[in-house]
Amino acid sequence: MTPAELTELLAPHGLSAVESRRIFAHHVQHGRRHWDVKHMAKVKLARAAELLDTPTLEVVDRRRDPADNFMKYLFKLADGALVEAVRIPIFDDKYTLCLSSQAGCPLDCVFCATGRLGFTRNLETWEIVEQLRIVRDEADRPIRGVVFMGMGEPFLNYDNVIRAARIFADPSGGAISGRAITISTSGVVPAIRRFTDERHPYRLAISLTAATRARRRSLMPAAEKTWPIEELIDAAREHAAVTRQRVTLEYVAIAGVNCGADDAAALVELLRGIPVRINLIDVNDATGRFTPPSDAERRAFIDALQPLGAPIVRRYSGGKDVNAACGMLAATG
Ligand code: SAH
Ligand code: SF4
């Protein structure tokens, strides 16, 4: 629950907004381990404890990649479903956490291990928040950022993802700056429009990965079929206009598939006039079906995109040795 929702629940039981917020803060800090909230009457605390269910997730496995210190967590949900989160080191002093919003994913992007799993269900708000709480509890540095880039399509679980983001951004909750929370979507156009209309502080990233309908359909069939690229680009343009910021487009680069001269030309045409930032991600694929572009292929692609005048940033996608990198989350260890 957000502080406002908790206040509403506890008010009829005689707890003030300040007391509810204290319980909220305490819970996000300590989980269900103990209920000794300072400066609160025992009887009120007992009442709140009776009313509130405070479940947690089971940590089944933790794997650290010694090469880059990325750490993958495997969680088991109450119904047995498995999800993963990845702790990403930022310099030497903090972490960003990559979280799951669904168990599996209903979309079928051909390059993604989560997509190959199929879909189990949406995560509840608390199941998203608890991933952060557990990881933070045992981390040696603070968690200053959250990215919804783990398992699942966050915009097909919109309400729970936004509520979790609110809890992360709350000063007495996760105390993470709203600008340091990024939601990545494969292009759920109605949800992008809603997100734009609601004026959230969180950042949006859109997984584009192809410049034409045909190519996108071959790589992200379900997404492209449901939300065609033209509509997606319209929604991206509107988001940039309303936020007055460059909209981030993620592009999973696959050798011989989507980073040729024709792809670059189509992308320049498609994005003309839209302020964008391109986030280029080398494909990771443990099956060996897809391979990342060579340095020369990538260089030529980036050069051919220069007419856009857009920043093009390569994403370091770490934790490959423990299958923690982008597109590798399959809850199989
Ligand atoms: N479902 C959302 C968020 C999770 S995926 C989305 O698709 O945007 C997070 C990012 O990883 C997306 O940009 C996605 O395109 C990218 N990704 C998926 N599979 C990948 C792979 N095999 N290699 C590299 N990046 C991948
Ligand atoms: Fe789902 Fe994103 Fe993977 Fe596509 S890339 S299958 S939307 S998790």
Among 98, 105, 112, 326, the one annotated catalytic: 326
**Mean pLDDT, range 110-127, rounded to an integer:** 96
- Sign for the CA dihedral angle at 159, 162, 167, 168 comes to positive
Domain shared by 44 and 94, yes or no: no
**Mean pLDDT, range 23-50, rounded to an integer:** 88
CB 263 within 8 A of CB 301: yes
Say if strands 203-207 and 247-253 run parallel, antiparallel, or are unpaired.
Answer: parallel
How many A from CA of 299 to the centre of ligand 1? 21
Domain shared by 159 and 96, yes or no: yes
Distance CA 140, CA 115 (A): 32
Among 19, 84, 153, 250, the one annotated catalytic: 84
Q: What phi and psi, each to the nearest 5 degrees, are found at residue 278? A: -105, 125
Q: Which of 51, 75, 91 is the last residue of a domain?
A: 51
CB 3 within 8 A of CB 21: yes
Q: Do the domain assignments include residue 329?
A: no
Integer angstrom CA distances of residue 11 from 5, 17, 36, 134, 246? 10, 7, 20, 29, 42
How many A from CA of 186 to the centre of ligand 1? 8
Domain shared by 275 and 164, yes or no: yes
**pLDDT tier for residue 333 given thresholds of 50, 70 and 90:** low
Domain shared by 79 and 23, yes or no: no
> Does the pLDDT at position 25 exceed 80?
yes
**pLDDT tier for residue 239 given thresholds of 50, 70 and 90:** very high
Q: Do the domain assignments include residue 118?
A: yes
Q: Locate the ligand 2 atom nearest the alpha carbon of residue 115 and give its number.
A: 6
Is residue 186 within 6 Å of ligand 2 at its C-beta?
yes
**Mean pLDDT, range 83-109, rounded to an integer:** 97
DSSP class of residue 289? S
> Does the pLDDT at position 32 exceed 90?
no
> Does the pLDDT at position 188 exceed 80?
yes
Q: Do the domain assignments include residue 328?
A: no
Residue 326 known to be catalytic: yes
**Mean pLDDT, range 275-296, rounded to an integer:** 96
* Residue minimizing CA distance to atom 4 of ligand 2: 109
Q: Which of 36, 51, 66 is the last residue of a domain?
A: 51
pLDDT digits (tens, 9 = 90+) for 39-54: 889 999 999 999 998 8
Q: Locate the ligand 2 atom nearest the alpha carbon of residue 106 and give its number.
A: 1
Q: Do the domain assignments include residue 168?
A: yes
DSSP string, 154-165: GGGSHHHHHHHH
Domain range for 10: 3-51
CB 62 within 8 A of CB 319: no
Is residue 114 within 6 Å of ligand 2 at its C-beta?
yes
How many A from CA of 31 to the centre of ligand 2? 30
Count of domains observed in the chain: 2
Ligand nearest to the CA of 104: 2
Residue 105 known to be catalytic: no
Render the burial of 208-242: b for 16+ CB within 10 Å, e for the rest: bbbbbeebbbebbebbbeebbbeebbebbbbbbee
**pLDDT tier for residue 29 given thresholds of 50, 70 and 90:** confident
